Amino acid sequence: MDIKNVTVAGGGVLGSQIALQTAYKGFDVTVWLRSEDSIARAKPKFERFAGIYTQTLEAMKTDKTAYARGLADSPDLEPAALDALKGNVAAAMESLRFTTDYDEAFGDADLVIEAVAEDPEQKIAFYTELAKHLPEKTIVVTNSSTLLPSQFAEHTGRPEKYLALHFANTIWRNNTGEVMGHPGTSEEAYRAVVDFAAAIGMVPLELHKEQPGYILNSMLVPFLNSAEMLWAKDVADPETIDKTWVLATGAPYGPFRILDVVGLETAYNIGIMNPKAHEEGTVENIIATRLKEMIDRGETGINAGKGFYDYTQG
């Protein structure tokens, strides 16, 4: 199954990374967003990530530790080859198309990557409308962090061509592509998505059955929840919790720095799916309330310039 035209639905933290990475690897990419305001909010994210791509490739000329697996096949490329890859970044940015129109976005798509909000109702509404505009050939994948493809397969109108392809944040460096079908996914569609993941510089990680949170988030989400619990119970502040983890394990980031990268809106949307988050006085409710307060102040994470940490100071 030949994939050339790719549409990414959503321009958030991961949607923008997925679209840029796919264009960087030479695919024709359209980004669908709900409104012109959404497009205006998304474009600065693309510019930021394109700058990171270019800076990383430049740094690789003199520093092998700067190597990003999703950007280059080897850490030993010559400067001329790295300059050529920097040209690919510029070409990718030039080629990206943005639209709010369903027919324009999806009418000739070989692959649709859904990266809309982690909210079942929003996803169902999106899939229900999407199904009216897709050609028969199109495979649809979800980048949902925690939800199962079987929850939405029938709403797509093509359950045999629907599955999950989950990316980690900073996909140009942490280049994992978790591929997870549901019981009705065809082998042909599954293999096509595995091949696509490899073609955009990811390492395909094949799951044999559905698992909420896949492999990565089955481990990551409980870790982040534990940190949020310590914060909600006022055991320690986020900086101290992060410092504890970094010093004790040698990890580059603590959980609250990771939450800033993931985006607090995503963390909030995942959290409020827990019924306890709606029970006043529970730890889950305190976490959700505090996250919502930060979101309402515009402190949604690194892309906003501020989350648990301030990123505007250089």
Q: Which two tokens stand for residue 308?
A: 């648990």
The pLDDT, as a whole number, for residue 118 is 86
Cβ neighbours around 198 below 10 Å, total: 12
How far, in Å, CA of 135 to CA of 52, rounded? 35
Residues in the chain where the model's pLDDT stays below 70: 1, 314
Domains of the chain (ranges; CATH) run 5-206 (3.40.50.720), 218-304 (1.10.1040.10)
How far, in Å, CA of 1 to CA of 193, rounded? 9
Burial category of 20 from C-beta neighbours within 10 Å (exposed 0-12, middle 13-18, buried 19 and up): buried
How far, in Å, CA of 30 to CA of 24, rounded? 13
Q: Are 284 and 271 in contact (CB under 8 A)?
A: yes
Cα-based torsion angle of the residue sequence 66, 69, 75, 78 in order, rounded to the nearest 10 degrees? -100
Q: Which two tokens stand for residue 271?
A: 């959290």
Burial category of 114 from C-beta neighbours within 10 Å (exposed 0-12, middle 13-18, buried 19 and up): buried
The pLDDT, as a whole number, for residue 1 is 62
The pLDDT tens digits of the residues spanning 133-175 come to 999 999 999 999 889 999 999 999 999 999 999 999 899 999 9
SS3 label, residue 195 = helix
In this structure, the chain runs to a length of 314
Picking from 193, 243, 145, the residue whose alpha carbon sits closest to that of residue 22 is 193
The pLDDT, as a whole number, for residue 38 is 96
Q: Are 72 and 88 in contact (CB under 8 A)?
A: no
Characterize the bridge pairing of strands 203-206 and 28-32.
unpaired
The pLDDT, as a whole number, for residue 314 is 60
Give the count of alpha carbons within 13 A of 229, CB side only: 7
Characterize the bridge pairing of strands 176-180 and 162-167.
antiparallel
Residue showing tokens 């990266």: 115
How far, in Å, CA of 116 to CA of 157, rounded? 18
| Amino acid making up residue 33 | L
Burial category of 187 from C-beta neighbours within 10 Å (exposed 0-12, middle 13-18, buried 19 and up): exposed
Burial category of 200 from C-beta neighbours within 10 Å (exposed 0-12, middle 13-18, buried 19 and up): buried
The pLDDT tens digits of the residues spanning 203-236 come to 999 999 999 999 998 999 999 999 999 999 999 9
